[in-house]
Amino acid sequence: MGSTAISRPKGQTGSKRSNSAVIVTALALFSMFFGAGNLIFPPMLAVEAGDNFWPALFGFLATASLLPVLAVIAIALSGSNLRDLAQRAGTVFGVVFPVLAYLSIGAFYALPRTGAVSFETAVTPLFGFEGLASSAVFNVLFFGIALILSWNPTTIMEKLGKFLTPALLVLLIVMISVAAFRWSAEPVAPSEPYNDGPFTAGLLEGYLTMDSIAALAFSIVVISTLRHRGFNEGKELVGGTITAGVGAGLMLGLVYIGLGLIGRVMPDAASYDNGAGLLAEAANLTMGGAGQAMFSAIVLLACLTTAVGLITATGEYFSEQFAGSYHFWAVVFAVTSMIIATQGLDFVMAIAAPIIGFLYPPAITLIALTLIEPAFRARTRFSWAFFVPLWVSVVWSAIETFISLEWGADVLTPIVQWAPMFEAGLGWVVPVVIAFVIGLIVDFAKPKPAMIPGTMESVEGEDLSAEGDTAPLLSNN
């Protein structure tokens, strides 16, 4: 089927229309990535990194800003969604990994984080409420309202999101600017683990934003949006998607740098337990009570709209994949998140750390393989080169997660400690590269199936549409 011509509005060139659509999409993607929870990591990284702030921050940006962009590019080039990509490593991986990914951006971490961050950043500094009882009351109200709003979502939440994110950004710019002129950084010795390997420590801290895994789920929405805005299939659509991803990543990076600078220059920053309290006090010191109230309101509403979006997204995915209605899953995730969030932000982070640590090696491997495959497509389509390294990343990551939790560490540590960068938490990298090379050799050794004339299928019935010179989205047919 040939490409359908798209009519352009009079008085507006296709180029201008395309540029406008990409800018709007980049802003929308940034708003999907950047919830209020993303506020809390850079300030505390700056406090703990001390004089090693810049190498630690660059490591953080690698996984919190650059990696989400690469995930968007990977999905754009493949033309597949997360579930379809994961299926290439087998049925088990294709089912389990997307489920864990959605849970990690839902009830296991990102969703309860919205309640915990709201309470500690917006409520406690403004009203002085603290403790388990106050947290419980707040989170019952917070997730109750979020559940009501997500019961039958309307465009009002989308409109609120469009206004809240720019308002939050403006306030952050003001706060960062005032802090930069009012305070100056004092020499501070870095603390563990930023004293010996600040870049690697920052890189691992960037995992906690979850934006790279979220990008695997969000990217297909970007592609659909640009299609709806008139982008033609092929290079125009891929280029627009990649540009939007790069734009969103740049905005994320600039915001993270600004937030890190606040933690670096704020007086007595080391006295705060987490970035939520530090940032709330920074708002109070730089803009007074009125600024604190405005900051609290925006953070609270930003968290609420994020919670509604996460309940909706995870509820819809699980209702499509498993038994139970959307409303059933929405209640399950709201109640679970309420219980976890009530325990406080530190408790949320303690639960999330092993889950995130387990998910990231397979996620990074999936992104890397998807980006590398086009370079080999003229010779072969990845089969074993996809399957073997992904499963090595899963097994290796599981072992390292068990070791971090001290589950059979004495038995498991000798199995994996030989790997380079094991002490830095990156021991999975070299084994995965070795597995990829082995899988690639096997794929090259396999005979290429003969094709049925006039089709993109092999005589064995395998779809070879991805084996041409271009990826699915790069085809103009």
Read out DSSP for 27-54?
Answer: HHHHHHH--GGGGSHHHHHHHHHGGGHH
Quote the pLDDT of residue 22. 86
pTM higher than the cut 0.75: yes
Phi-psi region for residue 189, left (φ > 0), alpha (ψ -120 to 50) or beta?
A: beta
Quote the pLDDT of residue 1. 42
CB 276 within 8 A of CB 40: yes
Q: How many CB atoms lie within 10 A of CB 457?
A: 14
| Packing angle, helices 211-228 and 345-372, rounded to 10 | 60
Residue 326, judged by CB atoms within 10 A of its CB (0-12, 13-18, 19+), counts as: middle
Cα–Cα distance for residue pair 161/267, rounded to 1 Å: 33
| 3-state DSSP assignment of residue 101 | helix
Residues in the chain where the model's pLDDT stays below 70: 1-17, 36-37, 153-162, 164-165, 447-477
Domain-wise residue ranges, the chain? 14-353, 377-470
Nearest by Cα to 433 from 374, 376, 380, 364: 364
Cα–Cα distance for residue pair 135/23, rounded to 1 Å: 39
| Packing angle, helices 326-342 and 345-372, rounded to 10 | 130
CB 299 within 8 A of CB 39: yes
Which residue in this structure is represented by tokens 């921050």? 57
CB hemisphere CA count around 4 (13 angstroms): 6
Nearest by Cα to 216 from 370, 45, 434: 370
Cα–Cα distance for residue pair 242/190, rounded to 1 Å: 37
CATH homologous superfamily of domain 14-353?
A: Amino acid/polyamine transporter I (1.20.1740.10)
357 alpha-carbon distance from chain centroid: 13
Q: How many CB atoms lie within 10 A of CB 8?
A: 14
Handedness of CA 309, 22, 368, 370 (dihedral sign): positive
Quote the pLDDT of residue 456. 40
Q: What are phi and psi of 206, to 5 degrees?
A: -65, -20
Cα–Cα distance for residue pair 477/373, rounded to 1 Å: 21
The DSSP H or E segment spanning 148 is helix 131-151
> b/e per residue, 408-424, with b = 16+ CB within 10 A?
eeeebeeebeebeebeb
Beta bridge partners of 457: 463
Beta bridge partners of 463: 457
Quote the pLDDT of residue 230. 80
Cα–Cα distance for residue pair 303/149, rounded to 1 Å: 13
Quote the pLDDT of residue 155. 53
Cα–Cα distance for residue pair 54/66, rounded to 1 Å: 16
Quote the pLDDT of residue 36. 66
